Structure 1
Amino acid sequence: MRIVAAMSGGVDSAVAAARAVDAGHDVTGVHLALSRNPRSYRSGARGCCSIEDAGDARRAADALGIPFYVWDMSEEFADHVVDDFIAEYTAGRTPNPCLRCNEKIKFAAVLDRALALGFDAVATGHYAQLETAPDGTIEMHRAIDMGKDQSYVLGVLTQEQLAHSLFPLGDTTKDVVRAEAAARGIQVAQKPDSHDICFIPDGDNAGWLAEKLGPKPGSIVDEDGTVLREHDGAYAFTIGQRRGLRLGVPADDGKPRFVLDIEPVSGTVTVGSREALAVDALECVKPLWCGTAPTEPLDCTVQLRAHGDEHRARVTVTPVEPVETSPVEPVETTPVEPVETTPVEPVETTVHVDLIDPASGIAPGQACVIYAGTRVVGSATISATTRVAVH
C-alpha cells in the first residue's frame, strides 16, 4: 500500500514509519506545520509543533530513506482546534484539543488529502490496535501497553477513517520502541515525550486564555452563594480544580475546596467539598461511533480523561427521531407547481451514561469514550452531569 506516515518529530512516529517500511509499504513521511509562525508554539522537547520537531522528523525520514514533505495545516488547525479551544472555555466547558486535532486534522484533513493524492492510508505513532472482525468491521482496541494506550484520544474516529489508518505500535511497549529507534540509528531515540497543549508556549492555559480573551470579571462563591472573592475570568478555572483558587478564607471544616460549577454568562465559579464533585450520570452529545451505534442499553466501561480510570457504566443511545415539518404551500401559478416539502432533519442523537462507579471532577466539554472490553465503541462530548445524591 501507499502510506503517508505522519511524522511529528518524536520517537513514536519515527518507529511507526520504520515499521510501515519494514512491512513492505511504499511510505512517504509527512510533517504537519500547524502554525504559520512556529515559534508562537512551544519550542524544545516538550512540544510537538516546534521548529526543532520539523528538523527531527526530516532527519528520521532521511535515516529511513523515505521521501519527506511538510504539509501546511495551519489554517485548519487554527479553525478547528485553537479557535474551538477558546470557544469551549468561553462557554464554561473543558475541551480536549488532542481529540479535536485527531478528529479534524490528523484523520480528516490529512487523510482526505492523502486519499486525494492516491495514498491508501495514514500511519501514526499512536498506541492503539486495529483488528478486523468476522463481519469485516475494523475494530479499534486498547494498546497492550496500558501506560501508553492512546485509544481515548482516538475514540473520535469513524469506521471509514479506521479503514484507512495504521497504528504500528499498538502491540509494543515504549521501552521496545526506544530500543528499536536506537538500533536503527534514529537520533530521537531518547527524545522526551511531549506534554501539555502544543499551542500554549509555556503550559500556562489560564494566562494564554487571558491574553486572547481579556478580563471578564466574576465571582467565586460557595454552595450557599456567599462571595469568597472576585476573579478576572472564569476561563482560568476548570471543574475539579483545587490549586490556584486563592480563596483566603478556609472552609468551615478546614478542608480544601474544589471548583464544582462554572456559569459562563455571569462568570460565577462555585466551589465546594471534594465529596460534592462526585457524579453518577452523564448526558452526552455529538456521538461518533467507531462502528455501529448501540441500539440497546450497553453494559460497558467508559473513560472520561486521557489518562483517567475506567468506570463501569450503562450507556443508552437515544434513537434519531425525524422532525415533522409542514408542507410548503404551493405558489399559485399557471400551471400549478408541484407541492414541495421541507426536508426532514433528524434530531441530534444523545447518549445517557449511568455510572456504576461514580467519577469526580468531570466537566462538560470532556469526552466520554465508551469501551466493550478493550474495544472502542465510540465517543461523545459531555454536556451535563448529575451529582451523586447526598443522603
Structure 2
Amino acid sequence: MKKKVVVGMSGGVDSSVAAYLLKEEGYDVIGVTMQIWQDEHEAEVEENGGCCGLSAVDDARRVAQFLDIPYYVMNFKQDFKDRVMSYFVEEYLHGRTPNPCIACNRYVKWESLLKRSMDIGADYIATGHYAQITKLTNGRYAICNSVTAAKDQTYALYNLTQYQLAHTLMPVGAYVKDEIRQIAKNLGMPVAHKPDSQEICFIPDNDYAAFIDREADGCVPGEGNFVSVTGEVIGRHKGITHYTIGQRKGLNLSMGHPVFVTQIRPETNEVVIGESEDVFSKELICNQINYMGMEDLTAPRKVTAKIRYAHQGAPCLIEKVGEDEVRCTFDEPVRAITPGQAVVFYEDNYVLGGGTIVK
C-alpha cells in the first residue's frame, strides 16, 4: 500500500518540485496550502512572491493540477496569529529580536499541519526546505545540512521534535537550487521561474515598526533616549521597536564616526549606543532548549554554533548552567549576539539542538 504524504505547498518552486519528486518515488501525494495570515489586496497579489497569501494559493493550485494530485487549502490563521504574529510583537515590545520563521515552523507548519494531516490518514508531511533528516547511531532523528550551503535552512528547523522529524520528508535537501529550478523548467512547471520570497510573509513591506504599532493597539513605547555605554544621553530614538543589536544605519546620530546599537532596555525605554568593538562578545546564555541530535547535555561539549540565519557558525563550548539554560562560550568573540534570536548547535553537519538567546 502506498504511503500517504501531505506536501505543504507554498506556491514556490521548491515545494512544487518536492511534490513532484515524492510522486515519482511512488508516494500517494496530497498538496496543501496553509492559509495563515490576512488576505492580500489586489496589488499585493501581483507583487508579493511570499509563501502565505492568496497568490500562493493560486500558484499552488495550478501546480497541483499540473501534477494531477489532490489539493486543499487549510485555514490555520488563528494558530498563526497566536503562535507567530502575537509572539513577534511581544518580543519586540520587550526589546528582543524574534525569528518568526522558527516559531512558524515548529508550531504551525509542523505541529498544526502534522496533526491535521495525521487526522486524515497521512503517514508523513513534506516541505521544500533545503535540509535533510537522518537517524543517528544513537537512535535519534536530526536535521542535517543540505547539499547546498548557500540555501541551507537547518537553522530555522532546530526546534522540531523527534515525533515531527519521524513523520517528515524533505526531498529537496538532496539537490542544489539550480537543479530544482532545472527540474521545474524541464517539466514545464507553472512556477519554474517564480522568484524566491525574501521578506517576512506577514510584513511584505518590511516595515516591522509600523506593523507592531498596528498590532499592539497603543501599547508601543514611544520616543526615548539613546545613551552611551557609560550612561550619557546622546540623542533621542524613535522607539525601541525600530532597533536591533548591531544596527548601524538609521540611527541619525552625528557622532563623527560609525556607532552601533549594543543593547535595548525596554524597562527604561533606552537604546544603548557603542563602538564597533562593543558589539562583540564571547559568551551567551540561552533557554527554551530543544535537544535534537542528543537527548540531553550531560557534560560540557565542543560544538559549532550559529547565532543567526546568515551566520557561518563558530566553534564554542556549551555547558548546562540550569535546568533549561545553556551557556555558550565562543573561542573568539562573535558579532551582535541578539536576545530573542536562536542559537543552534551543530556537530558533524547535523543539528544537536538549540535555544533562544537570553543575553
Q: Which has the larger radius of gyration?
A: 1
Q: What's 2:279 paired with?
A: 277
Q: What's 2:252 paired with?
A: 246
CA drift at 1:35? 2.1
Q: Which of 48, 64, 67 is residue 64 of structure 1 equivalent to?
A: 67
Matched, 1:382 2:357: yes
Q: What's 1:222 paired with?
A: 228
**Unaligned stretches of 5+ in structure 1?**
321-348, 385-391
Identity %: 39
Q: Which of 357, 364, 369 is residue 339 of structure 2 equivalent to?
A: 364
The answer on whether the counterparts of 1:30 and 1:69 sit within 8 Å (CA) in structure 2 is yes
Matched, 1:51 2:54: yes
CA drift at 1:88? 0.2
Q: What's 2:25 paired with?
A: 23
Compare the two structures and name the one with the higher helix fraction: 2
How far apart, CA to CA, are the structure 1 residues paired with 2:211 and 2:169? 34
Matched, 1:74 2:80: no
How far apart, CA to CA, are the structure 1 residues paired with 2:20 and 2:273? 50
Q: Which of 204, 208, 227 is residue 205 of structure 1 equivalent to?
A: 208
Which letter maps to 1:127?
A: Y
1:91-143 CA-partner distances (Å, limit 9, x unpaired): 00000000010011011111111112211111000000112234443232101
1:319-357 CA-partner distances (Å, limit 9, x unpaired): 64xxxxxxxxxxxxxxxxxxxxxxxxxxxx111101113
**Unaligned stretches of 5+ in structure 2?**
none
CA drift at 1:318? 4.0
The answer on whether the counterparts of 2:140 and 2:292 sit within 8 Å (CA) in structure 1 is no
Matched, 1:351 2:349: no
The answer on whether the counterparts of 1:45 and 1:193 sit within 8 Å (CA) in structure 2 is no
Counterpart secondary structure, 2:150: coil
Which moved further from structure 2: 55-64 or 202-211? Answer: 202-211
Q: Which of 133, 137, 148 is residue 140 of structure 2 equivalent to?
A: 137
Which letter maps to 2:222?
A: K
CA drift at 1:42? 5.3
CA drift at 1:202? 0.6
RMSD of aligned C-alpha atoms? Answer: 1.6
Which letter maps to 2:249?
A: R
Q: Which of 102, 107, 110 is residue 113 of structure 2 equivalent to?
A: 110
TM-score (norm 1): 0.87
How far apart, CA to CA, are the structure 2 residues paired with 1:286 and 1:375? 19
How far apart, CA to CA, are the structure 2 residues paired with 1:32 and 1:268? 39
The answer on whether the counterparts of 1:63 and 1:185 sit within 8 Å (CA) in structure 2 is no
The answer on whether the counterparts of 1:41 and 1:49 sit within 8 Å (CA) in structure 2 is no
Alignment of 1:151-170 (within 5 A): 151-170=154-173
CA drift at 1:85? 0.2
The answer on whether the counterparts of 1:301 and 1:370 sit within 8 Å (CA) in structure 2 is yes
Q: What's 2:7 paired with?
A: 5
Matched, 1:289 2:264: no
Q: What's 2:303 paired with?
A: 300
Counterpart secondary structure, 2:97: coil
Number of residue-to-residue matches in the alignment: 352
Q: Which of 237, 240, 244 is residue 243 of structure 2 equivalent to?
A: 237
CA drift at 1:207? 2.5
How far apart, CA to CA, are the structure 1 residues paired with 2:97 and 2:335? 14
CA drift at 1:151? 0.2
Which letter maps to 1:229?
A: G
Counterpart secondary structure, 2:149: coil
How far apart, CA to CA, are the structure 2 residues paired with 1:352 and 1:258? 25
The answer on whether the counterparts of 2:39 and 2:53 sit within 8 Å (CA) in structure 1 is no
The answer on whether the counterparts of 1:35 and 1:41 sit within 8 Å (CA) in structure 2 is no
How far apart, CA to CA, are the structure 2 residues paired with 1:102 and 1:42? 24
Counterpart secondary structure, 1:260: strand
